[in-house]
Structure 1
Amino acid sequence: MHPIRTTETLTLIHHLLSLLLLSSLTVKSFIGRWQILRSKLTSLQTSLAEISDSPHWSENPLLQDLLPNLLSTLHKTNSLSDSCHDPSFAGGKLLMQSDLDMVSASLSALLHDIDLLLKSGVLRQSNAIVLSQPGPGSAKEELGFFIRDLFTRLQIGGIEFKMKALDSLVQLLIEDDKASVLVAKEGDVGYLVRLLDSSNQSPVREQAAMAVSVLATSSDSSRNSVFEEGGLGPLLRLLETGSSGLKEKAAMAIEAITADPENAWAISAYSGVSVLIEACRSGSPVTQTHAAGAMKNVAAVEEIRTALGEEGAVAVLLQLLVSGTSAAQEKAANCIWIFASSTEDFRVSILQEGGLQKLLQLLQESLNSDTLEHVLRAIYALSASPSTAMTLSSSSSFILHLAELINNGNVILQQISASLLSNLSINDSNKRAIAGCMGALVKMVETSKPVGLQEVAAQALVSLLTVRSNRKDLVRDEKNVLRLVQMLDPKNELVCKKFPVSVISAIVAGGRCRKKLLAAGAYSHLQKLSEMDIAGAKKALQRLAGNRLKKIFSRTWRE
């Protein structure tokens, strides 16, 4: 509508409002309903006066739809007023009540839209409704105004305005990382969530799902805003019944929302456990990945973890280990680890579903360090079962792979691999086969972080040093000997002394391999540690001294 026509329309509305306000005072029938109508007409008159005072109201395209609708509603109201003033009116009473209620509802909706438009402030800006998107470095005021403008179009406009507003909103959220915080503050996230309802047209629903998904994954404040506005329930319904594209967007948002432990519990409140499992079972690769991530998040809650087990989550997750994307495998392995670490019932279920074999297969195939970490942790938890520990202990390929990870993996993989080596009953043949990882284990003993690394590395070394040839191999490398002796030095505060002491004691347990340790100065350090009552130091000192003490006693006897 042209600005001049918009002005003419507003003039007609003002005139018609004045007539209706006067006639509502003298109406003879349905007086109660007309009192309600008069209140709404008065509010409209006030709001329209504020519109007239706004310098650029006539340029706003939203009013080009809103004002004609208001004029039409007022004409209907005026016609009903004439009928209620006519003493000879013979129309049906119930029909008149219904017609009055309908125009009252229409006036309420129009009043809401006008007030929303006024509060947004867009009527005070020239060409506000067609503002170009602010750049990444724009001021907060400019960006905030643009966001209020978008949500005004979104709530008042028809399908065309809604789609353009949603497109602009999604573009803004994707291109500007900081925009999500302002959208949560300046926009109406609750209205955006309501657009996810199945009653909305498909294009609107799909773009709204994209906007909600980006909000949920962008920042803590925008994620919390989506959750607090009740977004989790509609997102779970989308994940259950939406199109493939909607399911993917919903799964992303659900994973992000449940990453907050305080939100994870709500999955059960919305009956979301079975929805997540089904999404992992039959969704697209993207949906499976994010649904597995959400499942991993909520599995931390004991009650939900139990429900997941009862609904058959274990079998679905184990299948993802085999057929899922790399990202899905990582998240599924993480969830399996959580299950395996919780109860014996879960460990039994995982083993009955062939979980150990699937984990071992993924351990061999995956190149992702995070996936390997979760797989190793899950295997470690399963090794609490004697039968599983026996299977792992006798698997040469598994033992060799642990040694490979100790030599070349990151520190976390090294630590878990060493833990497994120290806990398993490995035969001497396999211990000899992995002697090449002892140097890496020695380095781990002198590394203070992460907590527990020194202990498991020392334990793994002590286990490997029960084989005579391994003891020889270890001391043959002078670097290993120097590292161990330096760790014994009481001045070296980075290493807990009982760990290198236990390794030294294991090296000299067979009565050999002493010369290099003695030459490197191990004896004097052990003497001091023995005087300090360090666990195992006296025993290690006695073993290291060996023939030296015999010679001293022999010389004393001869003298």
Structure 2
Amino acid sequence: MHPATTNPSRQQQQPPSPASPAETLDRINQLLTNLLPSTLSITSFTSRWQVLRAKLASLKSMLSELSDSPHWSENPLLQALLPNIFSTIQRVQTLSHQCCDPSFTPGKLLMQSDLDMCTGWMSKQIHDLDLLLRSGVLRQSTAIVLSHPSVNSSKEDLSLFIKDLFTRLQIGGTEFKKKALDSLIQLLSEDEKSAGLVAKDGKISYLISLLDMNANTSIIRERAVLAVSMLASISDLSRKCVFEEGALGPLLRTIDSGSMSLKEKAAMAVECITADAENAWAVSAYGGVSILVELCKSGSVVAQSHAIGAVRNISTNEDIRVALAEEGAIPVLLQLLVSATASAQEKAANCVAILASSSEYFRNLLLQEKGLHRLLHCLHESSSSDTLEHVLRAIYSLSGMDSAFRMLSSSTTFIVQIADLVKHGNVMLQHISASLLANLSISEGNKRIISGCMGSLVKLMESAKPDGLQEVAANALVSLLAVSSSKKELVRDEKSVMRLVQMLDPKNDFVSKKFPIAVVATIMASGSQGCRKRLVAAGAYGHLQRLSEMEVAGAKKALQRLSGNRLKSIFSRTWRE
């Protein structure tokens, strides 16, 4: 037995033990039973007492419902809530006695203030009690509610656990909130599929309210930012819920004024939210463009990467692009092309490509800020195929400007680089590189230097995807074949010749005939007899003859160039044999 229970003098020195939840509830019900009738006789401050009386009646009804819940006394939240309710009702009882006592003459304003404070306290307590009752957690054993759900937990158990977490967030003190947020973060970390259920059963709007720096301790705020960031990044449903409940504004304010740790988490959430194009416009509404641009300049490596990702996402919106230019985003993005981490560099390149493709205004801005030089530097230094793709797209967009066109056309280094990508890059890099080779004005000397990529261009002509690849490959090849030595080099490549002839076959439906016809016609324009012999030997003549009979555009002219007047009978005999 505890010593305190056996020593009377010592027992008297101990503070009275707190009443159990059941005892406190009994005291509250006894007070309400006496208080409610007595308020009917109060004649002063009648409107205020009518409000209080309604709240007392509502509270009595809710407490009756509480006592019907099988496990209500086990819930730790009630250990604080019920004593607070008891204290409030005691205060109301005191005010009731004062208003009924003719000899008591308090100041009118003071009494009004006291009554209003009691009304406010009771409103909050009724809200918390209602929240507990509606959550359903009072009908379950505390051991069930508090146990962290396992992988095999049922959807019902998980839903109840989530409701309990959010109930604690809204009713409990700092320690309850901290533990609830820790449990929520652990749940999202271990089971990403739970994010959708959190969005459905959790009070996300309250979680977002915890981002307010003035209303919460830093430890609560940091965990809340992390939880919101996880919800924004895990699933489409939870991300949509986070945005619709108004998280974007508090997150941007966190980036603007929070610690660097908070900035990183908030920036990650903003990047995820703005990945949905329909959400991007809202960044401007909250004044977030300048905030994100500033974080791109001065954030940590992690924060900077997420900020650049968010800027890239919002740059798809025309109005926001203008705001980005006004906030000085373009020189920042171009600097990041050559100084950021690989991840941030890729996002910056993507954003620059979006801006370059949007309008001549942005292309001029990029060129004025020496954007082409930065892009070429990035093209030379980067090993990421995704980054190279964005860089090439931006260069392709800029190549339509006169100054960029002249610079790119005359740069042997650049021409060799894109020819090498035609040979060794992935299909998207090959596509963009072939487009540049087809459009630029390349000198004959540089065409001879890169003639080794012609076999790759022939092979690309067979690719059905992506759309337009066959055409740009054929156009690039026709451009390179303007050099006589390149024609001879190509026809000496047996695999390339066989591919061209197979593409001419009328039975081959995978390639539009205008592309191989154009290539053969170019080879035979001032082509040597050796080129003719190799093409004829491979079967080009027969396919062109049939295509000519089918009146396929360009086939007749290509056939005439291939046959020649003096050798026509020889070629006909070769075909018959």
TM-score norm. by structure 1 comes to 0.96
Counterparts of 1:122-271 in structure 2, within 5 Å, are 122-128=137-143, 131-199=146-214, 200-271=216-287
Tell whether 2:15 aligns with 1:15.
no
> Would the aligned equivalents of 2:273 and 2:279 in 1 still touch at CA under 8 Å?
yes
Question: 5+ residue gaps in structure 2?
Answer: 1-15
1:90 aligns with 2:84: no
1:119 to 127, 130, 134: 134
Give the secondary structure class of the aligned counterpart of 1:61. coil
Q: Any conservation in 2 of the 1:60–1:129 contact (CA below 8 Å)?
A: no
Contact 1:153 1:165 in 2 (8 A): yes
- Verify the 8 A CA contact 2:484 2:527 in the aligned structure 1: no
Question: 1:347 is matched with which residue?
Answer: 363
Residue 77 of structure 2 aligns to a residue in which SS? helix
Residue type of the alignment partner of 1:260: D
How big is the shift at 1:391?
Answer: 0.8
Q: How does 1:25-36 map to 2 (within 5 A)?
A: 25-36=40-51
* Aligned residues of 2:524 and 2:562 also touching (Cα < 8 A): yes
Of 526, 530, 535 in structure 2, the residue corresponding to residue 517 of structure 1 is 535
**Secondary structure of 1:28's match?**
coil
Task: Please name the residue that 1:532 is paired with.
Answer: 550
Q: What is the CA–CA distance in structure 2 between the aligned matches of 1:2 and 1:227, rounded to whole Å? A: 47
Query: Which residue type is aligned with residue 151 of structure 1?
Result: F
The aligned counterpart of 1:38 is 53
Over residues 9-63 of structure 1, what are the superposed CA-to-partner deviations in whole Å (9 max), with x where a residue is unaligned? 1111111111211211112321211111010001111111111111111111100
Match of 2:522, SS state, is helix
CA shift digits 1:153-187 (9 cap, x unpaired): 11000000000000110111121111110011000
Question: How far, CA to CA, are the matches of 2:153 and 2:544 in structure 1?
Answer: 67
Partners of 2:409 and 2:440 within 8 A in 1: yes
* Corresponding position: 1:333 with 2:349: yes
Report the counterpart of residue 447 of structure 2 in structure 1. Answer: 431
Partner of 2:8: none
Could you tell me whether the CA contact under 8 Å between 2:145 and 2:160 is conserved in 1?
no
Amino acid corresponding to residue 440 of structure 1 in structure 2: S
Q: Which residue pairs with 1:499 in the alignment?
A: 515
Contact 1:340 1:378 in 2 (8 A): yes
Contact persistence 2:421–2:433 (CA under 8 A): yes
Residue type of the alignment partner of 1:217: S
Matched with 2:122 is 107
What letter matches 2:140 in structure 1?
A: Q
Using the TM superposition, give the Cα deviation of residue 257 of structure 1 relative to its aligned residue in structure 2, in angstroms: 1.1
Quick one: which of 75, 80, 83 aligns to 1:68? Answer: 83
Separation in 1, partners of 2:558, 2:143: 83
**Residue by residue, what CA displacement relative to the aligned partner does 1:428-457 show, whole Å, maximum 9, x if unpaired?**
221111122111111100111110000000
What SS does structure 1 have at the residue aligned with 2:152? coil
Q: 1:3 to 1:101 in 2, by over 3 A?
A: closer
Which moves more between the two structures, 504-513 or 127-136? 127-136
TM-superposed CA distance for 1:136, in Å, is 2.7
Per-residue CA distance 1:518-543 (angstroms, 9 max, x = gap): 00110011112222232322221111
Q: Which residue of 2 aligns with 1:365?
A: 381
Separation in 1 of the partners of 2:323 and 2:370?
21
Deviates more, 1:483-492 or 1:172-181: 172-181
1:313 equivalent in structure 2 = 329
Taking the aligned partners of 1:226 and 1:113, their CA distance within structure 2 comes to 23
Q: Secondary structure at the match of 2:141?
A: coil
- 2:460 is matched with 444
- What amino acid maps onto 1:309 in structure 2? A
State the shift of 1:128 in Å: 5.0
Deviation at 1:480, TM superposition (A): 0.7
Q: Quote the Cα distance in structure 2 between the aligned partners of 1:488 and 1:468.
A: 22
Cα distance, 1:532–1:410 mapped onto 2, change above 3 Å: same
Distance 1:360 1:318 in 2: 11
| Deviations, residues 115-156 of structure 1 (Å, cap 9, x unaligned) | 000111111111158622212332211111110010001100
1:275 partner amino acid: I
* Distance in 2 (alpha carbons) for counterparts of 1:122 and 1:128: 11
Structure 2 counterpart of 1:287? 303
Distance 2:30 2:221 in 1: 40
The answer to whether the aligner puts 1:382 opposite 2:364 as a matched pair is no
- TM-aligned CA distance change 1:447 to 1:17, over 3 Å: same
How far apart, CA to CA, are the structure 2 residues paired with 1:302 and 1:61?
53
Higher mean displacement: 126-135 or 444-453? 126-135
Contact 2:398 2:404 in 1 (8 A): yes
Contact 2:28 2:86 in 1 (8 A): yes
The one of 68, 81, 92 equivalent to 1:77 is 92
Is contact 2:478-2:519 (8 Å) kept? yes
Do the aligned partners of residues 205 and 548 (structure 1) sit closer, same or farther apart at CA in structure 2, a change above 3 Å counting?
A: farther
* C-alpha displacement of 1:268: 1.6
Identity rate of aligned residues, in percent?
Answer: 64
Letter in 1 for 2:225: A
- Whether the 8 Å CA contact 2:145–2:161 is kept in 1: the answer is no
* Structure 2 CA distance for aligned equivalents of residues 496 and 53 of structure 1: 78
SS at match of 2:103: coil
Amino acid of the residue matched to residue 461 of structure 1?
Answer: L
Q: CA deviation at 1:551?
A: 6.0
The answer to whether the 8 Å contact 2:487/2:527 transfers is no
Query: CA separation in 2, counterparts of 1:83 and 1:3?
Result: 29
Q: Give the secondary structure class of the aligned counterpart of 1:341.
A: helix
* Whole-angstrom distance in 2 between the partners of 1:191 and 1:361: 48
SS in 2 for 1:225: helix
Contact 1:3/1:58 (<8 A) preserved: no
1:457-509 Cα offsets, whole Å, 9 max, x none, are 00111111111221122111211110000000010000011011111112222
Cα pair 1:508 1:543 within 8 Å, conserved? yes
Q: CA separation in 2, counterparts of 1:325 and 1:335?
A: 15
Q: Find the aligned partners of 1:138 and 1:402 in 2 and give their Cα distance.
A: 55
Larger displacement relative to structure 2 (72-81 or 527-536): 527-536
1:461 is aligned to 2:477: yes
Which amino acid is the alignment partner of residue 176 of structure 1?
A: D
1:2 positional shift: 8.8
Counterpart residue type for residue 306 of structure 1 = V
477-486 vs 306-315, which moves further: 306-315
Letter matched to residue 560 of structure 2: Q
Q: Which residue of 2 aligns with 1:58?
A: 73
Once structures 1 and 2 are overlaid, which stretch shifts more, 536-545 or 441-450? Answer: 536-545
Give the distance between the partners of 1:176 and 1:330, measured in 2 at CA.
Answer: 30
Q: Is the 8 A contact 1:446 1:495 kept in 2?
A: yes
